[in-house]
Amino acid sequence: MSTSASDAQLVGVPDDATILKQRRRQQRRDRWSVLLMRIGVIAICLAVWEIAVRAGFARELLFGQPSRIARFLLETFQGGDLLKHTLITGYETVLGYVLGVGLGCATGFAMWWFPNLGKVFDPYMTAFNSIPKVLLAPIFLVWFGLGIGTKIILSFVTVYIVMHMTIYAGLREVETDLIDLARSFGARRKQVFWKVVFPSSLPWILSGMNVSIGFALTGAIIGEFVAANQGLGYLTLYAAQLYEMSLVWAAIVMLIVMSLCFYTIVIALQRWLTPWYSE
């Protein structure tokens, strides 16, 4: 005989709603405790770093100093220089990322739709993926010049190959039993794609988008290393040549902030599109 919610309260047994509330409160407490521990780890590392430099165990010329990094961040941000370099790198990264994700998804799905096309081009994609993208920088520099186009293309190429390989691998992992079941009910190829293949590949797409954030930034920074007079990559290289390591770290901090913003957007998109897959 089943026990109702009111009977469960009378005998001191929590009902399902109470258990769910308790579980959510515990999850919130766990998230806050993890966040506080992460902040604590950063604070301890920065404190040890600062003390080591002040005590003379490490040279600021070689390792930088957290207090000077904070001062560089404040001064250059107020002056507008750091914001200008950050916006330029952000523009290159966003454009390369969006183009790379879009075309990577398109070609990945095209190779599933046309299996023979996938069999022909998959070895070439694998070989292209094995090439260090930094080697392409001089070629793109000759083709697209010293402008912003070289940085965008490098970011795009780096993201594109990662997205293509990830999506194509994910499509090959879709259970054939589900596809055969859909076809047995009379589903056409287009219906199989939208009802079975595409939903099954969503976790792979979002995973590829997540991984591609770092690759997009890497492509843009490599382009700025090769030839640029603006951007965070240029600022990092310029500061390193002057042995201003605190300024180098200030630029790196801005890159970290930028990547965290990208990561937050992708995670939000993942929770919205695949709530059953995301925690």
Q: What is the mean pLDDT of residues 127-136?
A: 80
Q: Which of 223, 224, 232, 278 is nearest to 258 (CA)?
A: 232
Q: Which of 169, 164, 166, 143 is nearest to 154 (CA)?
A: 143
pLDDT of residue 2: 46
Tokens of 232: 């965070």
Q: Per-residue pLDDT tens for 181-201?
A: 776 767 677 777 777 777 777
Q: Per-residue pLDDT tens for 95-109?
A: 999 999 999 989 888
Q: Per-residue pLDDT tens for 135-170?
A: 888 888 888 877 788 888 888 998 998 888 888 887
pLDDT of residue 243: 80
pLDDT of residue 97: 92
CA distance 5 to 187: 44
pLDDT of residue 95: 92
Q: Name residues whose C-beta falls within 8 Å of residue 137's C-beta, 6 or more positions apart in sequence.
A: 150, 154, 222, 223, 225, 226
Question: How many of the other CB atoms lie within 10 Å of CB of 26?
Answer: 10
Exposed e or buried b for every residue in 106-128, given b needs 16+ CB within 10 A? ebbbebbeeeeebeebbeebeeb
Alpha helices in the chain (DSSP H): 5-10, 16-55, 60-63, 66-79, 81-113, 115-129, 137-144, 148-172, 176-184, 189-192, 198-226, 232-241, 245-273
pLDDT of residue 83: 82
The pLDDT of residue 219 is above 90: no
More confident residue, 76 or 131: 131
pLDDT of residue 103: 92
Select the highest-mean-pLDDT range: 26-35, 92-101, 225-234: 92-101
Question: How many of the other CB atoms lie within 10 Å of CB of 174?
Answer: 18
Provide the mean pLDDT of the chain. Answer: 79
